Structure 1
Amino acid sequence: MTGSKYNSFDNDPWIIKLVEFTRKILESQSRIRVLGICFGHQIVGRALGAKVARGEQGWEVSVTPLELTSLGKDIFGVDTLSIHQMHQDMVYSYPTGILPLAHTTRCENQGMYAKNRLITVQGHPEFNREMVTHILTARHDAGVFNDEIYKDGIKRVGDTHGGAVIAKAFLKFLLQK
């Protein structure tokens, strides 16, 4: 599951169905592995009983360094990692049995892992500079982002990010026996 413009904590019928479907898959289908990116990360957290809500510190945007846990360093195969962010919602805790991969100063839960079951990240490994520049500009023009958020995001949009590193870890996760 990947990103969405919708709020993962809303109670729209389709979101409730997605949360329930995800819960059932994780509870009863041990051969199915789940990947979650941003909205998907939040849906997985919600399906497993974690609080998902608007972040108290507001938007986290553009290339942002992660503080990796020791497991995060092992999973991603690096000691440092940055990722494009585009969210204001977050998973506030780690569900029982789920291991943390990373955090930032704005978001305590930047990734979750359960061996052979799930791997998620709050950020967007699939985003690049051009995509994020477009999103930042469109949201600034629409009044979603104030000047401070926009300028800060634009300043970091071209920084090195680990999208390919995360994609490689996802592939390894999907293929591991």
Structure 2
Amino acid sequence: MGDSNDNSKNPVGDVTTSKADNQEAVHMLIFETDEPHPETKDRKGGGFAKVFDELFTKAGSEHDPPLSIETSMHYVVDDPDNGHNGHVPNTDEIPESIKAILITGSMYDAHGNDKWVKQLLSLLEEVWTKRPDVLLSGICFGHQILSRMLGSKVEGHPSGKWELAHTEMSLTPVGQKLFRTDDKKLSLHQMHQDQVTTKPSSETTSLLKEGQKVHVWASTEHTEIQGLYIRDRLFTTQGHLGFDEQMVRRQIEMREESGSIEGDETERAAEAKESAHLKHDGEVVAAAILRFFHGDDHDVD
């Protein structure tokens, strides 16, 4: 649990990293689905959950009015052959105090059949049906696996191209409402080849009621579905709101070293590293997700 990826014997949510004290806090459980580069881990003082805890705490403290968040974390990747010794919990292991779950990004495939991925998928389905009080959010892999849970198709880009680093997205009218802006553009760092290619509905899954609204809040030329929003249930994003310049560079390097980025895409990767310093809207997105967790976005439907 926490900054160690060996948490198979620890109860879920027993490590709390921070709690703001300006109002009642929403207790968020972060499912870590990967580990950052060792340099990033040293610099940030922990894994991806630590990155998100700091981001959401900062976004909440600067929000008007302030929004409080309490963060616990649990590492779910169970892949001992590759040094990952986490575990996917059962629904009854998730404390009643948890009111939000966020799933991080990962180098694993959300459309794959790894045992732990399938277990996580089953857990999320159970949470959806048995814990309607828990709101769900996901980043990149998290966005994709939650979409898959709801019957969406998740697959690689047909051209094999990656969407990398600082990327400008076109907001839909719902996106403008979520982010409380009249601007039609918003930027996030991207780090993906896979994407959600179909929008979920009651026709793709029994988890959604007939007529239940599912909104896409932004799109790009590469990826039409950059994020999904379902009021009082789900808020996802393909882009990485917690990435900074150094993290972007490290994540690209890790994918180059693993062979995930190769051939013609290496030139695109070099260009992406050069754009990694550009300011993006991660805190804006974090604030919107916090409003979602607090139930402050009921005018969006």
Short-chain TM bin:
over 0.9
| 2:169 aligned residue | 66
Instruction: Measure how far apart 1:67 and its partner are.
Output: 0.8
Matches within 5 A, 1:87-102: 87-96=192-201, 97-102=213-218
Change (3 A) 1:142 1:14: closer
Pick one of 121, 131, 146 that aligns with 2:247: 131
Indicate the structure (1 or 2) with the bigger Cα radius of gyration: 2
1:65 positional shift: 0.5
How well do the aligned residues superpose, as a CA RMSD in angstroms? Answer: 1.5
Residues in 1 aligned to 2:255 and 2:145: alpha-carbon distance in whole angstroms: 23
The aligned runs of 1:21-170 (5 Å cut-off) are 21-57=123-159, 58-78=161-181, 79=183, 80-96=185-201, 97-146=213-262, 147-170=266-289
Count the aligned residue pairs.
177
Task: Give the distance between the partners of 2:253 and 2:107, measured in 1 at CA.
Answer: 16
Larger helix share, 1 or 2 = 1
Structure-1-length-normalised TM-score: 0.93
SS in 2 for 1:93: coil
Provide the rounded CA distance (Å) in 2 between the counterparts of 1:83 and 1:119.
16
2-side partners of 1:66 and 1:28: how far apart? Answer: 34
Cα separation, partners in 2 of 1:68 and 1:91, compared to 1, 3 Å: same
- Work out the CA distance in 2 between the residues paired with 1:143 and 1:44: 27
Q: Measure the CA separation in 1 of the matches of 2:111 and 2:253.
A: 26
Which protein, 1 or 2, shows the higher relative CO under an 8 Å CA cutoff with sep ≥ 6?
1
Q: Equivalents in 2 of 1:75, 1:109: separation in Å? A: 16
* One-letter amino acid matched to 2:108: Y
- Mapped partners of 1:25, 1:86: distance in 2: 27
1:15 corresponds to 2:142:
no
Cα gap change, 1:34 to 1:142, in 2 (>3 Å): closer
SS of structure 2 residue aligned to 1:171: helix
Unaligned runs of 5+ in 1: none
Instruction: Report the CA distance between 1:143 and its aligned residue.
Output: 4.2
> TM-score, normalization: structure 2?
0.56
Amino acid at match of 1:130: Q
Give the letter aligned to residue 2 of structure 1. T
Task: Extract unaligned runs of 5+ from structure 2.
Answer: 1-102, 202-212, 297-301
Moved more, 134-143 or 60-69: 134-143
Shift of 1:120: 0.1
